[in-house]
Structure 1
Amino acid sequence: MSHHTHHTRPLRRHGRRAAALTALTIAIGALPVSADAVPDADAPQQAPSPQAPLRRAPSLQVRTVVSGLDNVWDIAFTPKGRMLFTERDIGRISTRGSDGVRRTLVSRVPNLWVSGETGLMGITVDPGFSSNHRFYTCHGFTGPGGGHDVRVVAWRTNDTATSAQVVKTLVRGIDTTSGRHGGCRLRLGGKRALFIGTGDAAITGSARDTSSLNGKVLRVDRNTGRAVPTNPFFNSSNANTRRLWTFGHRNVQGLALRPGGNMWSVEHGTYRDDEVNLLRAGGDYGWQAGPGYDESPPMTNHALPGRQIDAEWSSGNPTLAPSGAAWLKGPRWGSWNGALAVAFLKDQSVRIMHFSSGQLQSVVRPSALTAFGRLRAAQLGPGNVLYLTTDNGDGNDRVLAVTPTP
């Protein structure tokens, strides 16, 4: 089952190792895109088996499939390959069919609240979309009294997928203040489970407060919004606590389900230590701001009570602002098959990260994906093509299709 957890094992402290590898990656960023991944300096070097041919990294063909957009935050695909995507500040949900034509599905999400980093954010499509026409979004919401929060809602399109209406609010009450640290990525995983990555709303203590929905990865039933019975805190008397999968996060920006494995998250650091995390049920990922939202504590603070889980990758200092992520699959990806592709905003790049048994092995930064500005979303689409979105806010943001050629 896609949401099962690993057996308990010692928690690693390899932040310096990951940071050193990040620095090495930056240094080799100018290598040709077809260059093989750079090995971790600490990893044992083994000669390939004579019977096993060396897999090469692919060359990449990048094309624009949609343009003229603004702050494209997330992207999803129906089972038949129709693309849906969100634009954060204008609140538009659009589709692109096999004919290549962009159509507006929702011109502006009702009661949308836009401020800072918060607006219309994550989107994901129900696996039964062909029959139930359902998809899900996460966005800032303004109530009738002027208050605001972040909500996750279920939508249903008409039969021709030319319009959509909200059919249910699944989660409400994800706090937001100025709009800072609003999250909010959505991904499916396991039977009926919807994972929701939230931000701490720059509220001191929220990430470790298990009665708060902020600074968490939530796991809810996508039909009802209630907690999944196999959640780690399902026996709690608090409905919010029952929804928690993990806690101690600062601002979750990406979620990616490893095929046949666990959900992973991507998280923004302070002035240091962006993170990629392997999510373990009930895990504490160690973020706790100081009084007055002092951001000097480390992202994974082992001085806190309990046991904190180290990141699988960390940017070190300075931050690079990672966002969406997707696991690559298929033989056309060559040596990148099974690696995690992470989109970066500040660094304006994609990094291909190889993990084995949960440990980082290598990172490569393909130069072919450094010419498009800030990259927000990463999603595998039909034919195992990698789709990226730009988030430059210039009115000409794009959806890019990245096709590998071994």
Structure 2
Amino acid sequence: MNLRNRSFLRSLGSLLVLAGCGLAGAATAQVRTETVASGLENPWGVAFLPEGRFVVTEKPGRLRLVAADGKLGTPIQGLPPIAAGGQGGLLDVLADSGFAQNRTLYFCYSEPETAGGSANSTALARARLSADGTKLEALKVLFSQKPKVASRAHFGCRIVEARDGNLFLTLGDRFSRKDDAQTLDNHHGKVVRIAKDGSVPKDNPFVGKPGALPEIWSYGHRNSQGATLAPDGRFWMTEHGPQGGDEINIPRAGVNHGWPVITYGENYGGGKIGEGITRKDGMEQPLHYWVPSIAPSGMAFLTSDRYGAGWKGNLFVGSLKFGYLDRIELKDDKVVAEHKLLADGRARIRDVKQGPDDLLYVLTDESDGKLLRLRPN
């Protein structure tokens, strides 16, 4: 069966699953949204702070403190230079697990050349939020993707803190450099793993391997804008395919995920990518893929029972293309059902997180972007 026929059958199956999602009773009870904050310009990432506060990134290059009552603070000062434009800008943000004691934030962004040229790359920085919440202190750039290229696309840039305290960072292939995703002498199309001081953990898979950058954890990725830690501690991510072939992956140490040699997508406008195949020895298959693309963004596992037992353990993934939140039921690391939430399509879903109150929070990617809280009916 050719790729187009497989794509059609998979799409039809997805539609049948989604069409039936309203018939499953209490397990799929709908949610209602309440606006926590509005007036955010293309927000990209959200992190939770003590006392019910939030910190939110705006892609044009602003970091905002949001009070518990939704009031926006003035932009936090002290950010490094940011190459905002296209898909680039100030992207993800993460509060350290020990934030209550150390006030440490991590954020990733598109970093311009120091000489003022047109090249850029994804960078990860650490800073301490001042006691009054107005500025960043003790800023340190922990990681800069190499090499820098002149591109406004595919920065990746999701940050996840693992249980061992190390940081995972997703890195895009920069679009024009997709073949780099298969070589280990660069950071394009990779997941990297570093310590909180920027050093390389000694148990990274390519430490000491000639010609390989030691920060690399996994490779053969395209552009991941969603990542999370599963309840069992494993690192999961979504990534954008080209025209079709968006994926959910569980990157493991040293594993090659195949891009651009294998893919379930095709070139924009049609035509094969790489070898025009979907499987090859030595290359990992995705846990799940979407044809057509949904443009997956933020992702989170729900570990609470606030929405009923049928939702606990589900994976939630935002769709930028269709403007819905995908509630995904899993069994033995396989997708068994998908359900559309917030499916009016009016807003691109950029990020989703479970908050300290065990409720889900969503960011909408708009010029008047919103931070939404999802409450069970």
Q: If the length of structure 1 is used for normalisation, what is the TM-score?
A: 0.82
> Any gaps of 5 or more consecutive residues in structure 2?
none
Task: State which of 278, 301, 304 in structure 2 corresponds to 1:330.
Answer: 304
Letter of the structure 2 residue corresponding to residue 77 of structure 1 = F
Aligned to 2:355: 381
Counting aligned pairs with the same residue, the percent is: 28
CA distance in 2: counterparts of 1:386 and 1:28, whole angstroms: 23
- C-alpha deviation, 1:156, in angstroms: 0.9
Quickly say closer, same or farther: Cα 1:170–1:20, change in 2 above 3 A: farther
Is the 8 Å Cα contact of residues 248 and 287 (structure 1) preserved in structure 2?
yes
Aligned to 2:223: 251
Is the 8 Å Cα contact of residues 47 and 54 (structure 2) preserved in structure 1?
yes
Is the 8 Å Cα contact of residues 122 and 186 (structure 1) preserved in structure 2?
yes
Letter of the structure 2 residue corresponding to residue 26 of structure 1 = L
Aligned to 1:7: none
CA distance in 2: counterparts of 1:19 and 1:379, whole angstroms: 32
CA RMSD, aligned part only? 2.8
Aligned residues: 364
- C-alpha deviation, 1:87, in angstroms: 0.7
Q: Secondary structure at the match of 2:68?
A: coil
Aligned to 2:320: 345
- C-alpha deviation, 1:180, in angstroms: 1.1
Letter of the structure 2 residue corresponding to residue 249 of structure 1 = H
- C-alpha deviation, 1:111, in angstroms: 1.2
Is the 8 Å Cα contact of residues 328 and 336 (structure 1) preserved in structure 2?
yes
Letter of the structure 2 residue corresponding to residue 188 of structure 1 = E
Alignment of 1:6-405 (within 5 A): 20=9, 22-27=11-16, 29=18, 35-36=23-24, 56-78=27-49, 80-89=51-60, 91-106=61-76, 109-147=79-117, 148-165=120-137, 167-174=139-146, 175-202=148-175, 203-222=177-196, 224-237=197-210, 241-288=213-260, 296-297=272-273, 306-316=281-291, 318-334=292-308, 335-366=310-341, 368-392=342-366, 395-405=367-377
Deviations 1:268-324 (A, max 9, x none): 01111111112222111110269xx977327995565x51111111112x2111111
Deviations 1:21-58 (A, max 9, x none): 554333564667x643xxxxxxxxxxxxxxxxx96223
Is the 8 Å Cα contact of residues 242 and 267 (structure 2) preserved in structure 1?
no
Which runs of structure 1 show a deviation greater than 6 angstroms over 4 or more consecutive aligned residues? 15-19
Quickly say closer, same or farther: Cα 1:300–1:193, change in 2 above 3 A: farther
Deviations 1:38-82 (A, max 9, x none): xxxxxxxxxxxxxxxx96223302011111111111111135542
Is the 8 Å Cα contact of residues 208 and 248 (structure 1) preserved in structure 2?
yes
Is the 8 Å Cα contact of residues 194 and 219 (structure 1) preserved in structure 2?
yes
CA distance in 1: counterparts of 2:171 and 2:257, whole angstroms: 13
Is the 8 Å Cα contact of residues 111 and 143 (structure 1) preserved in structure 2?
no
- C-alpha deviation, 1:391, in angstroms: 1.1
Quick one: higher RCO (CA 8 Å, sep 6+), 1 or 2? 1
Is the 8 Å Cα contact of residues 77 and 134 (structure 2) preserved in structure 1?
no
Is the 8 Å Cα contact of residues 156 and 167 (structure 1) preserved in structure 2?
yes
Q: Secondary structure at the match of 1:205?
A: helix
Deviations 1:214-237 (A, max 9, x none): 111111102x21222222222335
Is the 8 Å Cα contact of residues 231 and 281 (structure 1) preserved in structure 2?
yes
Is the 8 Å Cα contact of residues 269 and 299 (structure 1) preserved in structure 2?
no
Letter of the structure 2 residue corresponding to residue 124 of structure 1 = L
Letter of the structure 2 residue corresponding to residue 297 of structure 1 = I
- C-alpha deviation, 1:201, in angstroms: 0.5
Deviations 1:322-369 (A, max 9, x none): 111010121222211101000000111111112222112211113x44
> Any gaps of 5 or more consecutive residues in structure 1?
1-14, 37-53
CA distance in 2: counterparts of 1:299 and 1:358, whole angstroms: 27
Quickly say closer, same or farther: Cα 1:221–1:82, change in 2 above 3 A: same
Is the 8 Å Cα contact of residues 158 and 170 (structure 2) preserved in structure 1?
yes
- C-alpha deviation, 1:260, in angstroms: 2.0
Is the 8 Å Cα contact of residues 321 and 344 (structure 1) preserved in structure 2?
yes
CA distance in 1: counterparts of 2:355 and 2:7, whole angstroms: 29
